[in-house]
Amino acid sequence: MSDIWHPKSAVITGGASGIGLAIARELAGRGVTVMLADLPGERLERAAGMLPGALTHPCDVRDLAQVEALADAAFERLGEVHLLLNNAGVGGPRGKLWEVDPEAARAHFDVNFWGVWHGCRAFAPRLIAQDAPSAIYNTGSENSFFCAVPQSAAYIAAKHGVLGLTESLREDLPAHVHAGTIIPGWVYTAIGPEQFMKPGMPAEDFAAIVVPQLLERRRFVVSHGYNTVRIAERMDELAQSYAEFALPPEEDAKYDVRLVMEQLRKAQQS
């Protein structure tokens, strides 16, 4: 088990409802000062009233300027930001891929992918500069690893993108700034129709599972064990194709990008 980390402050986009608000409550119960960021309006105000001591800041994550302003406000009001959750998200357009309006798909990516990118871009340099141990967590999905809901190409592609973005970001950061992906399964939130979402895991139960993992600075923060069955369905077929058709690793090493780049780096240093 990893050492327990004790952040004192957190900024959560999409913090006015659902997973964001549930995690905010769990963190606040552990003494963390929370700033909730969400679209302006009654929902954000109501969420603040549920969490005494919570700060709020209106923010549309589709707009980089607004996310930069959120980062400025967070550091001004909190002093230091120890935990960032790029959590804001919406349900995507449904239908067979060729039936979905491309503009609707692009608009979806503006929130579920670019909103996460904007949060990383705005906060990462500030977290690096402050020196204190910190973490960026991006909310992916079980749909980052497999197709949980049919005919949801935009949502599934965006969540795959969040996983890739986060994995790349990890390598850009210094040791004192961690990055990881939160991987919810089916959780009862307002991201979809209530009759469909209601059988999902209660958000407060989800938060109780994932917050301890955040405090251990895990790379992957998980909740729904049956996901491993679905992931294996894809990975088993992938492994079978590699076993049957790919060059063996010892023969293919000369084509491995990482190995070649390391060899080139060593050659330049010598």
Catalytic site positions: 155
Q: In the Cβ-directed half-sphere of 230, how many Cα atoms lie within 13 Å?
A: 14
Contact call for residues 33 and 10 (beta carbons, < 8 A):
yes
- For the packed helices 153-172 and 102-112, what is the interaxial angle rounded to 10 degrees? 40
Residue 40 tokens, joined:
């302006």
Residue 108 tokens, joined:
């979806």
Q: In the Cβ-directed half-sphere of 81, how many Cα atoms lie within 13 Å?
A: 31
Would you state the torsion angle of the CA atoms of residues 2, 141, 30, 50, taken in this order, to the nearest 10 degrees? 180
- The CA distance from 54 to 109, in Å, is 29
